[in-house]
Amino acid sequence: DRQKRVRNFSIIAHIDHGKSTLADRLIEKTGLLTEREMKDQILDNMDLERERGITIKLQTTRLIYKAKDGEEYILNLIDTPGHVDFNYEVSRSLAACEGALLVVDAAQGVEAQTLANVYLALEQDLEIIPVINKIDLPSARPEEVKREIEDVIGLDCADAPMISAKEGLNIEDVLESIVKKIPAPTGDINAPLKALIFDSYYDNYKGVITYIRVVEGNIKPGMKIKMMATGKTFEVSEVGIFAPGQVPVKELNAGDVGYVAASIKNVRDARVGDTITDAQNPTEKPLPGYKKVTPMVYCGVYPAEGEDYNNVKDALEKLQVNDAALVFEPETSAALGFGFRCGFLGLLHMEIIQERLEREFNLNIVTTAPSVIYKIMKKDGEMLTIQNPTNLPLVAEIEYMEEPIVEASIMTPTDYVGAVMELCQSRRGTFKNMEYLDQSRVVMHYDLPLNEVIYDFFDALKSKTKGYASFDYELKGYQKSDLVKLDILINKELVDAFSIIVHRDKAYERARSIVEKLKEVIPRHLFAVPIQAAIGSKVIARETIKALRKDVLAKCYGGDVSRKKKLLQKQKEGKKRMRQLGNVEVPQEAFLAVLKFD
Ligand code: GTP
């Protein structure tokens, strides 16, 4: 029967090892699209992804493959993101699969996220097929990498396809392995409906569209369904497959992957991870949910224009539908007005949400410096958790403070061990141990304060190792620490949105770098503007922006009216991106300036 010819799989890989390129080749080889129809990378379809070259949003597609055994197979490929911040999305899509291709770069070998992804796949009991990619590279060392996978991960690589996704070499081997090694789904078609929501998004016309894996039973238009977590019921208006692109079908059966529309208006009613069942004939137990995700980094998100408050709220709600890791609540700032405190998995996640708010929702936003969650023990015995530095109690009330620590594993060629140690030391890291993977590569384990990781640790690591080191981390717990609140005063007024919590030993260095950055980005005013950094009432760094009138029209030497108009217009637009703090105008980029270390 049909189910025997279905294969549901994901591709997992360390970033840049060629996951998207392989996905494209699989689509091409199965004859879905002609080469000309293929955009560069059909699965990564958000602008943002293309620019950053990383996969963020899940994309799913169905391939029809005629195998060497003469049978036609339905291969559902569920794309997964490849960054450390997005492990939760990976586990989400893996839960909908029976198998995964593990793509490893034949020149780079096993890297930090290769391991992290393999562990996630093993947790879901998936059949893992190692695929050695980029064998066309002169620096490829496929045999060594195979041995590395066997030694480090313990996967048998005897039959691993050796491919070049870029040149389309041996792609057929991959397709044959999928058919032969990944088990077909086994759910009972006649049982009550049980389907897993592994992704969803809001469509202006059809309401919330959920991406599902049917585990048991079947689902079709007209059916009354129930969301097991919320108890809400809906009538199915459309079901379909990803061919790619949404193609309606009559029904989806156990083992199938597809989408469901059911005029779901409220994004909260169709949560990713929930189980859909038949309202009339419900299944007994929901499917196990996903690995719980907890935001680790917080920042304030404010509309640049006050009247956009509700639009920002609306946009955050929409983004939250398919991003369980995004949390937010209202907050107010003396400097920025009404906005939201948002929680993210990490810095990249934060940047991506910020950019999506600006691009997809056309919003102009201001964000404050990121913060982790601190624990504060007060002298009166009360324990507070704080994710906004402005909420810190008075120093006199604090008994001690604790900060989150992560266990970091850094994989690097041995040449850079010294550079990595130096970096970790400068970020208050504690060395744990170091293992050799082979003669040329090691994995180093450090405990690092998350507070140090969220600034530019990842960028610094990449630049100190010429891009060769890879990095992964996991929250370990909390640790007492000598922390202080660093405030920034502009023209003698404290700007709450700039306050950060830092280790006492780092305070001076950070203070200097922030006041210098602010001096660069804040334009001159008619009066001198002092910029100060202070701990309590003690100023530890200061710069002054000299008074000057910057007259843009002076450049035009009279004459050309249209040119003058253009300049005035430009200046007006520029103004919109300014924030009035007291009587000082601060450009939005100033709020980002406090993020970068050096
Ligand atoms: P993320 O989406 O960021 O996780 O990356 P990815 O794993 O999808 O990598 P992607 O497919 O975008 O490939 C990364 C880079 O490697 C691109 O520049 C590709 O052109 C290149 N690449 C992929 N496969 C091959 C290959 O077989 N040989 C060579 N030489 N380059 C390849």
Q: Which helix (H) or strand (E) holds 240?
A: strand 238-242
The reply to whether 18 sits in an annotated binding site is yes
Closest atom, ligand 1, to C-alpha of 82: 4
pLDDT per residue as tens digits for the range 163-183: 999 999 999 999 999 999 999
- ipTM over 0.95 threshold: yes
For ligand 1, atom 19, the nearest C-alpha belongs to 18
Tens digits of per-residue pLDDT, 31-58? 654 444 444 444 444 454 444 444 444 4
> Could you tell me which residues are beta bridge partners of residue 104?
132
pLDDT at position 570 over 60: no
pLDDT of residue 420: 96
By most ligand atoms within 8 Å of CB, the mutation choice from 10, 11, 14, 16 for ligand 1 is 16
59-63, 81-85, 238-242, 573-577: which has the highest mean pLDDT? 238-242
- Amino acid, single-letter form, for residue 196: L
Beta-sheet pairing, 99-105 with 6-13? parallel
Rounded to the nearest 10 degrees, how much is the dihedral formed by the CA atoms of 277, 278, 279, 281?
-120
DSSP conformation class of 149: I
Q: Is the pLDDT of residue 580 over 90?
A: no
Could you say which DSSP state residue 522 is in? S
Nearest ligand 1 atom to alpha carbon 13 = 7
- DSSP β-bridge partners for residue 194: 216, 277
Q: What is the pLDDT of residue 290?
A: 55
- Tallying the residues shown for the chain, one arrives at 598
Q: CB of 368 within 8 A of CB of 498?
A: yes
| Lowest-pLDDT range of 188-197, 298-307, 308-317 | 298-307
pLDDT of residue 561: 53
**Summary mean pLDDT of the chain:** 84
Consult the annotation and say whether 19 binds a ligand.
yes
Between 380-384, 397-401, 559-563, the lowest mean confidence (pLDDT) is in 559-563
Residues in a beta bridge with 196: 213, 275
Distance 21 CA to ligand 1 centre (A): 5
Confidence of residue 404 (pLDDT cuts 50, 70, 90): very high
Instruction: Check the annotation: does 79 bind a ligand.
Output: no
Instruction: Tell me the CA–centroid distance for residue 122 and ligand 1, in Å.
Output: 24
Give the pLDDT confidence score for residue 99 in this predicted structure: 96
CA nearest to 314, candidates 332, 340, 348? 340
Distance from Cα 164 to the centre of ligand 1, integer Å: 10
What φ, ψ does residue 130 adopt, rounded to 5°?
A: -70, 140
Regarding predicted confidence, which is higher, 305 or 18? 18
pLDDT value of position 564: 54
What is the position in ligand 1's atom list of the atom closest to the CA of 44? 2
User: What is the CA angle 470-342-395, rounded to 5?
Assistant: 95
pTM (whole model) above 0.80: no
Ligand 1 mean position, distance from CA 16 (Å): 5
Question: How many C-beta neighbours within 10 Å does residue 15 have?
Answer: 17
244-260 mean pLDDT: 90
Residue 81: pLDDT band (50, 70, 90) is: low
Three-class SS state of 30: coil
Token reading at 298: 């917080």
Q: Residue 21, annotated ligand binder?
A: yes
Report the pLDDT value the prediction gives residue 373, as an integer from 0 to 100: 87
Q: Residue 212: which of 185, 239, 182, 232 has the closest Cα?
A: 239
Percent above pLDDT 90 for the chain: 43
The confidence band for 356, taking pLDDT boundaries of 50, 70 and 90, is confident
Distance 415 CA to ligand 1 centre (A): 25
Atom 28, ligand 1: residue with shortest CA distance: 134
The 10s digit of each residue's pLDDT in 447-482 is 999 988 887 787 788 788 877 788 878 888 999 999
- How many whole angstroms from 36 Cα to the centroid of ligand 1? 19
CA distance 51 to 419: 29
Cis amide linkage into residue 288, ω under 30° from 0: no
Map 209-269 to HEC letters. Answer: EEEEEEEECEECCCCEEEECCCCCEEECCEEEEECCCEEEECCEECCCEEEEECCCCCHHH
Phi/psi-derived region of residue 231, left when phi > 0, alpha when psi is between -120 and 50, beta in every other case: left
Best of 80, 166, 174, 352 to mutate for ligand 1, by most ligand atoms within 8 A of CB? 166
Q: How far is the CA of 60 from the centre of ligand 1 (A)?
A: 19
519 is in an annotated binding site: no
Expressed in angstroms and rounded, the spacing between residue 180 Cα and the centre of ligand 1 is 25
Phi (first) and psi of residue 459, to 5 degrees:
-65, -45
CA gap 16, 38 in Å, rounded: 20
pLDDT of residue 36: 44
**N-term to C-term CA, the chain:** 62
- Burial of residue 567 (CB within 10 Å: 0-12, 13-18, 19+) is middle
Give residue 453's pLDDT: 86
Helices 417-426, 457-464: inter-axial angle, 10-degree rounding: 150
**pLDDT confidence band for 319 (50 / 70 / 90):** confident
Query: In angstroms, rounded to a whole number, what is the distance separating the alpha carbons of residues 409 and 450?
Result: 13
In this structure, the residue with its CA closest to atom 14 of ligand 1 is 16
16 is in an annotated binding site: yes
Write down the pLDDT at residue 78: 87
Q: Is the pLDDT of residue 282 over 60?
A: yes
Q: What is the C-alpha to C-alpha distance for residues 82 and 462, in angstroms, rounded to an integer?
A: 17
> At CA 26, angle to CA 21 and CA 30, rounded to 5?
150
Helix, strand or coil, per DSSP, at residue 58: coil
Pairing of strands 374-378, 383-386: antiparallel
Q: What is the pLDDT of residues 87-138, one digit of tens each?
A: 666 677 788 999 999 999 999 888 877 877 887 888 888 999 999 999 999 9
Task: Report which protein residue has its CA nearest ligand 1's atom 3.
Answer: 54
At 29 the pLDDT is 85
Q: Is 427:452 a contact under the CB 8 Å cutoff?
A: yes
- Ligand 1 site residues (CB inside 6 A) read 13, 15-21, 53-55, 82, 133-134, 136-137, 164-166
Q: Is 418 annotated in some ligand binding site?
A: no
The CA distance from 519 to 590, in Å, is: 9
CA distances from 262 to 69, 249, 275, 307 (A): 39, 14, 15, 33
Question: Would you say residue 250 has pLDDT above 60?
Answer: yes
Residue 255 has pLDDT above 90, yes or no: yes
pLDDT for residue 548:
74
Nearest to 262 by CA among 300, 234, 284: 234
